[in-house]
């Protein structure tokens, strides 16, 4: 009789472990999704900042290619290397 009561008392224990595991997985999934969203937002902001910096750089530096007396054109970093003879 004691054995049956013991089994009955702990009959829900494996289910409790499964429920705890499920809760852990759900918390991890939520954390994982949140982390991915945060990293993605940070990467997008970094890309926008880079694009703004490149646009500012090209607006600040207009050059004429050698021998060209026509319209000015926007300077690219590779153009600066060519102008310096690198």
Q: What is the mean pLDDT of each run of 10 residues along the chain (86 residues)?
A: 53 73 90 90 92 83 56 59 54
* pLDDT the model gives residue 1: 47
Which pTM does this prediction carry? Answer: 0.42
For the chain, the helix, strand and coil percentages under 3-state DSSP, each to the nearest 5: 75, 5, 20
Are the beta carbons of 75 and 62 closer than 8 angstroms? yes
Are the beta carbons of 68 and 79 closer than 8 angstroms? no
């Amino acid at each position: 009789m004691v054995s049956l009561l013991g089994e009955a008392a702990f009959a829900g224990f494996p289910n409790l472990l499964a429920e705890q595991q499920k809760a852990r997985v759900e918390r991890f999934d939520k954390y994982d999704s949140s982390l991915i969203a945060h990293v993605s937002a940070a990467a997008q902001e970094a890309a926008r900042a880079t694009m703004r910096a490149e646009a500012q750089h090209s607006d600040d530096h207009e050059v004429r290619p050698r021998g060209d007396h026509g319209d000015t054109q926007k300077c690219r970093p590779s153009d600066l290397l060519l102008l310096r003879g690198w």
